[in-house]
């Protein structure tokens, strides 16, 4: 679920065995403002809901389109080919990672949410699609886990690359997982434990914070205590709450 930049509409997406449907909820009137069958709203950037069409294309039987709908009305603003995994990357920026249907070539693109205009693009070969975390200010950090861990930070206003790990000198490795980002602080995990990075530079803020929260605001971080297993078999999961870094 996402909320429009003016806080007036919540955009909700529901998946089922046949595809997905999305709808907008007017929060003041407490009513459904619009519905969009065969559309999976994966991200809300500013006042635009962005996501792929569902149905035959989403099930691998044909190409899927990427669409941008006005969050307030559900009216389509733009569409684009070569859909993929969509994530919020800024106040008006979405990251799209996927493969070109015709060639199977991997791509990672940054699009303006309100127009679908491509801001940055990179052809890359990756084992898993990059996962991105926006710090809700001016930095988005993305990472790929698996063979050859990689992390990089981008300016969420201009889409300019700020830093990447591993560094060119090979002196620093990338976090295996980035759990959260908030106002310049990036929280993650390495093989040696938790870490907090500076979102603008990628430098270590704290090499031993003791925890990697999944949810962060200006006051606290919330997550699973260090050392707690989080596999699917575990039924009870205790949570911890601690002051956020930065």
Q: What is the mean pLDDT of the chain?
A: 83
pLDDT given at position 6? 84
192 CB-side CA count, 13 A: 9
Distance separating alpha carbons of residues 54 and 59, to the nearest angstrom: 8
77 CB-side CA count, 13 A: 19
Q: Are 120 and 152 within 8 A, CB to CB?
A: no
pLDDT given at position 58? 47
Residues 6+ apart with CB under 8 A from 232: none
The tokens 């914070």 sit on which residue?
A: 209
Strand, coil or helix: 178:
strand
Q: Report which of 82, 92, 147 is spatially closest to residue 121, judged by C-alpha positions.
A: 82
Q: Are 43 and 51 within 8 A, CB to CB?
A: yes
- Give the tokens for residue 128: 């898993």
| Predicted confidence (pLDDT) per residue in 8-40, tens digit | 999 999 987 777 899 999 999 999 999 999 999
pTM, two decimal places: 0.83
Mean pLDDT of 163-188: 88
| Predicted confidence (pLDDT) per residue in 104-144, tens digit | 788 899 999 999 999 988 766 666 788 999 999 999 999 98
Q: Which helix (H) or strand (E) holds 48?
A: strand 48-52
- Give the tokens for residue 162: 């700020």
Distance separating alpha carbons of residues 154 and 162, to the nearest angstrom: 5
pLDDT band at 236 (very low <50, low <70, confident <90, very high): very low
Distance separating alpha carbons of residues 146 and 177, to the nearest angstrom: 10
The terminus-to-terminus CA distance of the chain in angstroms comes to 27
Q: Report which of 19, 22, 20, 21 is spatially closest to residue 10, judged by C-alpha positions.
A: 22
- Give the tokens for residue 177: 């997982």
Q: Report which of 195, 90, 174, 86 is spatially closest to residue 139, judged by C-alpha positions.
A: 90
Q: Report which of 53, 49, 58, 23 is spatially closest to residue 39, judged by C-alpha positions.
A: 53
């Amino acid at each position: 679920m996402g909320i429009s930049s003016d806080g007036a509409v919540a955009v909700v997406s529901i998946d089922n065995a046949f595809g997905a449907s999305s709808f907008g909820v007017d929060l003041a009137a407490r009513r459904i403002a619009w519905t969009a069958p065969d559309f999976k709203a994966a991200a809300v950037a500013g006042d635009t809901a962005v996501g792929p069409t569902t149905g035959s294309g989403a099930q691998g039987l044909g190409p899927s389109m990427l669409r941008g709908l006005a969050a307030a009305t559900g009216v389509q603003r733009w569409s684009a080919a070569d859909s993929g995994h969509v994530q919020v990357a800024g106040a008006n920026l979405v990251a799209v990672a996927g493969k070109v249907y015709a060639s199977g070539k991997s791509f990672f693109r940054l699009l303006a949410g309100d127009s679908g205009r491509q801001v940055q693009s990179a052809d890359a070969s990756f084992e898993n699609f990059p996962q991105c975390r926006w710090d809700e200010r001016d930095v988005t950090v993305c990472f790929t886990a698996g063979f050859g861990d990689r992390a990089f930070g981008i300016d969420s206003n201009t889409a300019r690359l700020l830093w990447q790990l591993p560094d060119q000198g090979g002196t620093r490795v990338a976090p295996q997982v980035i759990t959260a980002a908030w106002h310049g602080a990036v929280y993650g995990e390495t093989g040696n434990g938790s870490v907090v990075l500076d979102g603008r530079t990628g430098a270590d803020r704290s090499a031993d914070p003791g925890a990697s929260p999944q949810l962060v605001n200006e006051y606290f971080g919330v997550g699973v205590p260090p050392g707690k297993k989080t596999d699917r078999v575990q039924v009870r999961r205790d949570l911890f709450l601690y002051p956020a870094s930065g």
